Structure 1
Amino acid sequence: MRLYALCDQEMLDGRGISIEEYIDIAKANNAEIIQYRNKTADVSVIKQQLIKIRKLYEGFLIVNDAYELIEFCDGVHVGQEDLDAIDADPKKAVKILRNVIGNDKILGISTHNKEEVLEANEMDLNYIGLGAYRDTATKKDICAVLGDDLDRIAQHSKHYVAAIGGVKQSDRFENVTYHVIGSGLIS
């Protein structure tokens, strides 16, 4: 299992855990990637948090949504609704995003079903997040829980697949590269 740690600010605040404590936990669990997600702060706060994480963590650092902060991290992850805000055509949106962040940065998007995975195959991405595997406390607007269908759908991706949504370290998949774990790291 390869670990992609989701550092969600709302989750940290709700549990009284500092960024420093979370990074220590992620490093102790050999996280290869940390994604910082903060859906409520303005861009200057997110920038400061990325700078703090970068000082503490040498692995890959991904920012959720705030692609304008790409210079402070290794990549960006966006959801389907974020792509839609860039352009109604997801392929065009990814092309625009890729032009903004450059080819040397990591780009990942969320997918929720086989159709979105197949569409993502035609995009210039480094990975897809696929899920939700289970219900999760860190994301309240989950489309559908895929359960064991997640692994079957993942086999259709030409990109690396990160299983998202309620994933545990003990879960086993055949077609998934990364387990994305948020609150499960600290429970």
Structure 2
Amino acid sequence: MMIDKLHYISQSPAGSSHLASIEKVLLAGGKWIQLRVKNQTEAEVLPLAMAAADLCKKHGARLIVNDYPSVALKAGAYGLHLGLADMPVAEARTIVGPDMIIGGTANTLAHMLQRAEDGANYIGLGPYRFTSTKQNLSPIIGLHGYMELMKQAREAGMLLPVIAIGGIEILDIPLLLETGVHGVALSGTLTNQNDTTTILNTINQLLC
């Protein structure tokens, strides 16, 4: 299963919306989009996911739905991402079926190994630094933490692609790649830019 190196996580900044932010990144060339809507019901998230799925299809991109297995299934999403407080991967798998990509958040080596054992397809490891987009933030990992965790994961035989997440900026990317992560997930770094295409091209060159 192909896991992209650049994941965009949607935001709805003041005066905008999740769909507008997603479309902006798609127009700039983004190919892996995670719809991350918090504190809403499945009934409220489903129409957003359906619209996001249509946008992604139009631009040849993949949609990942955060938190809601049934919504991911109904919207025809490419994947599902589960946080540490969400449904277990194995339980979600019974809802979405064998073919959907499932990613799982991790903050420690124990989380990473558990995700692998539970059948996740990739791991979102973070947060790298403080980020205001996430409530109930797990302990900050930092660059040294990534170096240690990735080394320990390799020594434990954990082979899943790891995506670094949490307050990552462009200058962080080369340093993070040196730790052995597969790629990065970005939110504000793309959402809050005017020249999204230039920023995205720069990031993709760093990830090559």
- What is the TM-score when the length of structure 1 is the normalising length? 0.84
1:86-101 correspondence runs (5 A): 93-101=88-96
Q: Letter of the aligned partner of 1:7 in structure 2?
A: S
Q: Is the 8 A contact 2:18 2:35 kept in 1?
A: no
Instruction: Give the structure 2 partner of residue 31 of structure 1.
Output: 30
Unmatched runs of 5 consecutive residues or more in structure 2: 193-208
Instruction: Give the structure 2 partner of residue 183 of structure 1.
Output: 188
Deviation digits for residues 149-170 of structure 1 (CA, Å, limit 9, x no counterpart) = 2244235142111111111233
Q: Quickly say closer, same or farther: Cα 1:25–1:145, change in 2 above 3 A.
A: same
1:20-169 correspondence runs (5 A): 20-58=19-57, 59-69=61-71, 70-72=73-75, 73-83=77-87, 93-148=88-143, 149-155=145-151, 156=153, 157-169=158-170
Stretches of 4+ moved more than 6 A in 1?
Answer: none
Unmatched runs of 5 consecutive residues or more in structure 1: 84-92
Q: Quickly say closer, same or farther: Cα 1:27–1:114, change in 2 above 3 A.
A: same
More helix by share: 2
More strand by share: 1
Once the two structures are TM-superposed, the CA of residue 184 in structure 1 deviates from its matched residue by: 1.6
Q: Is the 8 A contact 1:131 1:163 kept in 2?
A: yes
Name the % identity: 26
Matched residues in 2 for 1:159 and 1:143: separation? 21
- Count of matched residue positions in the alignment of Structure 1 and Structure 2: 174
Matched residues in 2 for 1:34 and 1:125: separation? 18
